[in-house]
Amino acid sequence: MRMTVAIDGPAGAGKSTIAKLLAERFNLMYINTGSMYRAVTLKALENNISSNNVKLLMDVINIMEMHFENNELILNGVNINNELTLPKISNSVSAYASVKEVREKLVEQMRAMSLKFNVIMDGRDIGTVVLKDANYKFFLTASAEERADRRYKELREKGLDVKYDIILEDIKKRDYLDTNREVDPLKKAEDAIEIDTTGLNIEEVVNKISGYMEK
């Protein structure tokens, strides 16, 4: 039987890190849906296309060939993973991800992947939209302060000069945009298991989720 796992939650809740480790433990293909939206944002910014220009956005998406290798996104044959977490992408992705046509196109691609492979996906609307019939659904949360601290440390380790207060402000802004957008807002699926990761390390969260999946 095909296995599908959905992990949702706000920015910085640890979704991607947790999903990658679960993919390894349960031999699943990890599909980082957030990276796909970030890739669209990257190409849009490179081509000076605003989130309001739907036609040009769709033209760009139609020539984007995306797939994952070793948990990293390959766009048109190039590994762009390191570019996707830059502040300019993080600050703009919500606007592009809110475009109805963009979401519909990417959701179509995500579902196609789930029909071919045993997959685990993380994002904002996996359990509510993309994989409504997933075998397992989890919703990860954490305080805005803890999520900002995680992102701050991640970016500092990459050598970027960032300020915690600005990251916290961006996190709160993204939370508001993600939960209040008209198209597929961030919300917990009714049948999802909620896990608060505040104060938990990665191994503790992975073990907790694994416990549900191994039952």
Please state the residue numbers annotated as binding site. Answer: 9-17
186: domain CATH number? 3.40.50.300
Name the domain count of the chain. 1
| Residue-number span of the structural domain to which 160 is assigned | 4-203
195 part of a folded domain: yes
134 part of a folded domain: yes
Please state the residue numbers annotated as binding site for ATP. Answer: 9-17
141 part of a folded domain: yes
| Interatomic CA distance for residues 23 and 18, integer angstroms | 9
Q: What is the pLDDT of residues 49-85, one digit of tens each?
A: 999 999 999 999 999 999 888 888 999 999 999 999 8
What pLDDT, on a 0 to 100 scale, did the predictor assign at position 182?
Answer: 82
pLDDT less than 70: residues of the chain: 1
Secondary structure E strands in the chain? 4-8, 29-32, 66-69, 72-75, 78-79, 119-123, 136-141, 193-196
Please state the pTM of the whole predicted model. Answer: 0.79
| Interatomic CA distance for residues 114 and 4, integer angstroms | 7
